[in-house]
Structures are given as C-alpha cells and as structure tokens.
Amino acid sequence: MAEEKEVSASMMLKSTGLGNTMLYAEPVSCSLVGDILVLHVKTVSPVQWHIRTGITYRGILKLLWCIFKNFSVVKFLFSGFFRLKNPRLTEEF
C-alpha cells in the first residue's frame, strides 16, 4: 500500500474535471481588476499551477451570507484565529 505524504498547505481544491485529485494550495495575493476581486493561488501539490479566481461584489455578499447563516462556520472562523493548528484532512468536502 502506498504511503500518503503529508502536505502543508492552507487550501485544498477539488475539481470535477480532475477526478478525485486533491490539489493543495497557498494564497499568493489579491488584486482588484475593475469590479472583480481576483485571488491568486499557487498550488503546491501534486502540480504547481498558478490559479486566478474572481469574485464580484454580489458574490462576496452571497459568500458572507453563507458564512454567517451557519453558526458552526462562524464558530470555526473565530476559534481558528485563536488556535492555528494543522487541520484534520478529509476527502469529503
């Protein structure tokens, strides 16, 4: 059985186009292009790609609504600032 290597990254990404492949990534920077907030992300494993994601003001409002309507997510966000630890990784997200 192959050993899984431990990857240190603050983001995990999945895409239906990549099958079951899990990408591990780090945010690099943010920039404002017109009315779109662009997040630059660099994947660190299993490939090294530069990914740009864009979100509009309306998308940011929807994201904030999704976060604050779920108490467990709010609790996760606030408790995470006080204890920055390695998360338990899961394939189910």
Residue 15: predicted pLDDT:
81
Residue 25: predicted pLDDT:
93
For CA atoms 8, 24, 75, 90, the dihedral sign is negative
Is 2 contained in some domain?
A: no
Residue 41: predicted pLDDT:
95
Is 43 contained in some domain?
A: yes
d(CA 66, CA 79) in angstroms, rounded, equals 18
Residue 79: predicted pLDDT:
76
Count of domains in the chain?
Answer: 1
Is 4 contained in some domain?
A: no
Domain residues for the domain of 44 are: 11-82
Is 90 contained in some domain?
A: no
pLDDT (tens, 9 = 90+) of the chain, 93 residues, equals 344 556 678 888 888 888 888 899 999 999 999 999 999 999 998 999 999 999 999 999 999 898 888 888 877 777 766 666 565 656 665
Is 87 contained in some domain?
A: no
Is 20 contained in some domain?
A: yes
Is 88 contained in some domain?
A: no
Residue 3: predicted pLDDT:
43
Residue 51: predicted pLDDT:
93
Is 72 contained in some domain?
A: yes
Q: What is the DSSP string of 19-57?
A: TTPEEEEEEEEEEEETTEEEEEEEEEESS--EEEEEEEH
